[in-house]
Structure 1
Amino acid sequence: MTKGERIQFNFSTSNETSLFYPNLEVEFYGIDSILIKYFETKRMCVPAKSKKTFRYEIECKYRGCYEIGVHKVYITDFLGIFRMPYKVMEPKEVTVYPKIVVLEKLPIYPNAEEESEMIINGIKSGGGLISDVREYAYGDSMHKVHWKLSAKEQKLMVKSEDATAIAKVYVVLDLVPQGYLEIEAQTILEDKLVECAVAVLYYCLNQEIPTTFCYFQKELRIHKGKDLAYFYELYELLFKMKFQSQVPIDKVFEMIPELEVCRSYWIGITSDLNYELYDQVNRCISEDKQVILIYVNPEQVGGIVNDEKNVISEALIRLGAIYYEINIDDELNQVLNS
């Protein structure tokens, strides 16, 4: 299923004997997930030779894998002296895929020519763009002249040797849960974080930008791809991803090996904004990386107010990082396309 769809779940119990079942206690799967509001333990009386049916309409509002069905059944007497277990059934699994938000743009330029075009049009982001064009020097080939920029600057400008080098994108997802949140609030927050990762990965791989997706789940995991076909492999991975890491995103940034020296964009997606992350962003920028930080604010789902958030976000922007703050109710394409 896709996020937002509804399913029907029907549960029936039949008493085929001539005895009256005074108390029937039914426990369902799903009581340890966001579906608990649908599947609280049900107690009922079932007369002889009768049947009772219960119907549930479940709205699948958030991505993930959920077990539904009857977990345990007990027959008890009026006084609760005995409690006899009844045969249980295997759970059924509901798979809810995240929504794919198609972004019109992100401040990612696959090659330096695109960056220089942005300079011509007077568009800059963060602390400014690093251009791979320079002023003409004696001996430069006229084939390297950037004519549009030369017309704007009123002097000859040429492309550097690596002006068409393809940039690489690193997308890092923070899988550390906010331990103070209840199950429902944590599920909603995780859903928004995954939706951000899906939108960014779809944008990059649809543009055929070499993209590395990184996260820490027992160990550092790295997935590399460069086209839309690979996106769907990551999409299968993301719908069931567990937020159970204890390694914060700033440490994950440190772990990522860089085997090639090239222009790169580092995109961090997190719900925890702190000074340790600020220090890592500072390090990346000092190493000439372009950093984009997407912060999903947990305050709307009962998160503790981060008093340092505004100070850190302003400091990140001053460093030259591109910073987005997304609230739970925000539409991604409205925030990330702005």
Structure 2
Amino acid sequence: MEILALIIIFLAAVYIQGFLLNFFLFHNLEYSCSFSVDKATEGDSIFLEEIIYNKKPIPISWIKAEIYTSKWLDFAGKDAVIAQESRFVTSNFFLKSYQKTTRRWNVKCLKRGYYKIDKITLVGGDFLGSFSESSDVIDVEAQLLVYPAPVVLERCFRPASRIIGDTIVRRWINDDPFMFSGIREYMPGDALNRIHWKATASRNRLMVKKNDFTANLKTAVVLNIQSRDSEPDEVIDKEYIEFGIKVAATVFDKALKESLPLSFSTNGSIFNEKNPINTKEAVGWEHVNELLGILARLKLKKVQDFEYFINDIYKNYQNTEVIILTSYLTEKICNTIRKIKARKNNVSIILLNAVERENLPGDLDVYIPY
């Protein structure tokens, strides 16, 4: 009888502890998580900080936080389940009474984008598992904007008119083509249309027109979000467009350093907007920061065919350095670019697809990948 009584007492104790731990599991329990920064650049390592606080005298034998986020946020040193575009990570805790625990995850930003963790599922139970697990959904506000990483343009492109192997132009935001100030010796990367033929003949070596760089030279970046001439709304060759986004970010950075007025246009959009993007021209860090935010959020989906889009906007530019980023060229696109040039603009075409090298227009400045 005594053994039976001990068994009954033991089972009753197990039941009572399980009931209390589960019934009061989420009572006076606080949980929060946040990123260490709200903005980062692709390739950066940041922190995701979790804080959990058991504000009651009853301990918590085990509890775990189930975190669903993007697969492009890599939790270092943590095994995770990756499904399509999502990453599932669990974080386990044991909490004594009135204990507060802080955990910091090292997170590497693998890709540009806008990432948000708005809900966390907490799952817990008693140590012996005498009761089924309990769960609760907690609202959190963890947001992160990851800017695209810049690239080294000189290592990525060369003028299509030159022999492979030379060094590309020294700067992509060119000096002012409308202010002639003399001549200098030809350097690899100089456009052929800047050669000063009389000076070349008299000096017996190639000489080019020297242009002054002025702070009021305007710069416009135009990104074709389509990877092919004929494709559905969704981008097919995403790697080309992601590359173009990086190039755009690089030009933005150079424009910022030179304090140049800058605008950005694309036939894509952010979120679920139905109109293409055409920003106003402005200068300074605040403006460039806004443009980088657009690049971070940019969807790989067209809202207007590029041939129609560039024809709609070509009159927006005059006395401007226009940099067009595209994966392909058509005769209609080239004709519209010629209209842009005719309005006293300097136009550079950055071809993002290394395959599209045949039949390039000889009268336009085209740069192709190495």
Alpha-carbon separation, structure 2, partners of 1:9 and 1:291: 43
TM superposition shift of 1:197? 1.3
TM superposition shift of 1:202? 3.9
Partner of 1:222: 278
The amino acid of 1:254's aligned partner reads: N
Q: Greater RCO between the two (CA within 8 Å, min separation 6)? A: 1
- Asked which structure has the greater CA Rg, the reply is 2
TM superposition shift of 1:109? 4.1
The amino acid of 2:48's aligned partner reads: F
Partner of 2:107: 58
Q: Does 1:193 align with 2:244?
A: yes
Q: Does 1:243 align with 2:298?
A: yes
Contact 1:13/1:51, CA 8 A, preserved across alignment:
yes
Partner of 2:193: 129
TM-score scaled by length of structure 1: 0.58
Contact 2:50/2:102, CA 8 A, preserved across alignment:
yes
Structure 1 pair 265/236, CA: closer, same or farther in 2 (3 Å)?
closer
Q: Does 1:170 align with 2:220?
A: yes
Residue among 339, 357, 366 paired with 1:313? 357
TM superposition shift of 1:71? 1.7
Alpha-carbon separation, structure 1, partners of 2:121 and 2:225: 32
Unaligned runs of 5+ in 1: 132-147, 298-308, 327-338
Q: Does 1:282 align with 2:362?
A: no
TM-score scaled by length of structure 2: 0.54
Structure 1 pair 67/265, CA: closer, same or farther in 2 (3 Å)?
same
Alpha-carbon separation, structure 2, partners of 1:42 and 1:124: 53
Partner of 1:294: 350
Q: Does 1:7 align with 2:46?
A: yes
The amino acid of 2:73's aligned partner reads: L
TM superposition shift of 1:9? 2.9
TM superposition shift of 1:256? 0.8
The amino acid of 1:111's aligned partner reads: P
Contact 2:59/2:96, CA 8 A, preserved across alignment:
yes
The amino acid of 1:71's aligned partner reads: I
Deviation string, structure 1 residues 217-240 (Cα, Å, up to 9, x no partner): 23133234364x2x5413233235
Q: Does 1:233 align with 2:287?
A: yes
Structure 1 pair 288/191, CA: closer, same or farther in 2 (3 Å)?
closer
Alpha-carbon separation, structure 2, partners of 1:317 and 1:80: 76
Structure 1 pair 54/180, CA: closer, same or farther in 2 (3 Å)?
farther
The alignment yields a C-alpha RMSD, in angstroms, of 4.7
TM superposition shift of 1:281? 3.9
Alpha-carbon separation, structure 1, partners of 2:332 and 2:125: 59
Alpha-carbon separation, structure 1, partners of 2:275 and 2:220: 17
The amino acid of 1:93's aligned partner reads: Q
Q: 1:59-78 residue pairs with structure 2 within 5 A?
A: 59-68=108-117, 71-75=120-124
Unaligned runs of 5+ in 2: 1-38, 77-86, 154-169, 203-208, 228-233
Deviation string, structure 1 residues 258-314 (Cα, Å, up to 9, x no partner): 057x455432224xx24xx333442135436254233445xxxxxxxxxxx53x324
Residue among 55, 60, 65 paired with 1:26? 65
Structure 1 pair 116/282, CA: closer, same or farther in 2 (3 Å)?
farther
Residue among 258, 281, 285 paired with 2:315? 258
TM superposition shift of 1:168? 5.3
Structure 1 pair 48/26, CA: closer, same or farther in 2 (3 Å)?
same
Deviation string, structure 1 residues 100-132 (Cα, Å, up to 9, x no partner): 6798512734233449847x7487766x4279x
Alpha-carbon separation, structure 1, partners of 2:60 and 2:91: 14
Identity %, equivalent residues: 18
Deviation string, structure 1 residues 39-63 (Cα, Å, up to 9, x no partner): 6242758587588765411123544
Alpha-carbon separation, structure 2, partners of 1:202 and 1:10: 30
Contact 1:102/1:202, CA 8 A, preserved across alignment:
no
Contact 1:170/1:267, CA 8 A, preserved across alignment:
yes
Q: Does 1:35 align with 2:73?
A: yes
Structure 1 pair 7/124, CA: closer, same or farther in 2 (3 Å)?
closer
Alpha-carbon separation, structure 2, partners of 1:79 and 1:176: 55
Structure 1 pair 149/225, CA: closer, same or farther in 2 (3 Å)?
farther
Structure 1 pair 81/280, CA: closer, same or farther in 2 (3 Å)?
farther
State which drifts further: 95-104 or 207-216: 95-104
Higher strand share: 2
Partner of 1:331: none
Q: How many residues matched?
A: 273
Q: 1:146-157 residue pairs with structure 2 within 5 A?
A: 152=200
Deviation string, structure 1 residues 193-235 (Cα, Å, up to 9, x no partner): 33321322343465565543212323133234364x2x54132
Contact 2:221/2:263, CA 8 A, preserved across alignment:
yes
The amino acid of 1:171's aligned partner reads: V
